[in-house]
Amino acid sequence: MTRCALASFLMGGLVLLYGLTPAFAKDNVKIGISETPLWDSNPLMLTGGESDIWGSETRAFVDFGRTTPDATLNAMLAAEHNHFNNASFNSNDFFFRTDLKKNTALWAWSINGRFDYDTTRTGEITTFGRNARVGRRLSLQAAPRVAYSLSPRVQLALDGSWQENHYDNNVSLTDYRTVSFSPSVVYSLTPLQKAFFLFRTQHYSSLDGDQEVDSLGPSLGWQYRFKPEWSLELFAGFLASKHDGYVTVGNDWEYNPTYSAMLEYLGQRNHTFFSVARARQAYANGTESELISATAENKFTINPQWTLNMKALYQDAKRSTVSTGNLDTGYEESVGFVYKVGERWDFSLSQKFRREELANGLGVAERNIVRAGLTYRLGAVPYLQ
């Protein structure tokens, strides 16, 4: 029964994607399956009384790409069966990603979409050490963008985003929704430099209560590609936030700086990415607050067969009498190797560690995950070529 459901999900999604774009196109469709044994030391990120699990993740996926002279579509469909020594962690999960772009002489449209039906074991930034049991999570996201070129150097754009999360464990976790709109003006200073002015509006609402947060504010940005391999992007501004439905809240606005800096290097053997950001972050406990995060990533191609992936993440949650929450700091690091065995087989080995320090004396949670995976790709689907 499970295998039939997974197959139906993948084939139905493939047929839908294939019918969304014109017939005059270049297609790239690949189907694969992977088996990943794993060990997880603290799957619920508890601060006490934690216990480990071991088992496997079996995943079937379809990667779809379609290119026309003025549009591109990339999508991924995946179905995953998780089986562990503790049956309460067993689950059948489903995932969908899509990225659609279309351009004309003056207009540009794009939309990114995401659908996750999984568990809180894999899908949350933090559960604050409160997640007494694994629960189902449904996450829906969409990020549309439309832009119009007033002149060769000036562009008007409107970016939007929508995210909605639902949990079946409503005792510990709270359903929520976030919606944002950001009109902007983009000015090309030189062929390699762009300046941005944008105004962001954002609304957070807890779907299980009356908590709401409205935020708005301007930002200035600058983007520079100073070499073919290097690019730099800087943004700075502020957000004014008003909270409703929280016990500690009056009628005052809260003002916080926002910023982001991103540096990317794309060389022949290294793909390196650094970022620092301060932004509003929604959580699954009915709160939204400022989160400072710093990320460093590197993908190093040792040779055509071997690849080394490394990532480090640091998070610092800011709180005030208005912005509440229990996360204090978080640290995460991961290292993984991928070995290509021919054109269709991949073997991977990875390790991941996460540590969370919770505020208000709630303790510290730590977690180690070790994975060893084997992936087989069927290659291109002949009748779509």
Q: What is the pLDDT of residues 273-317, one digit of tens each?
A: 999 999 988 877 777 888 899 999 999 999 999 999 999 999 998
| Cβ neighbours of 248 (radius 10 Å) | 10
Mean pLDDT calculated for residue range 371-381: 85
Examine the pLDDT at 224 and tell me if it is beyond 50: yes
Give the whole-angstrom CA distance, residue 194 versus residue 70: 23
Whole-number pLDDT of residue 3: 41
Give the whole-angstrom CA distance, residue 94 versus residue 6: 8
Whole-number pLDDT of residue 92: 95
Whole-number pLDDT of residue 363: 85
Mean pLDDT calculated for residue range 148-162: 97
Asked whether the whole model's pTM tops 0.75, one would answer yes
**pLDDT tens, 8-46?**
444 444 444 444 445 455 788 889 999 999 999 999 888
Whole-number pLDDT of residue 6: 44
Query: What 8-state DSSP symbol labels residue 344?
Result: T
Examine the pLDDT at 146 and tell me if it is beyond 80: yes
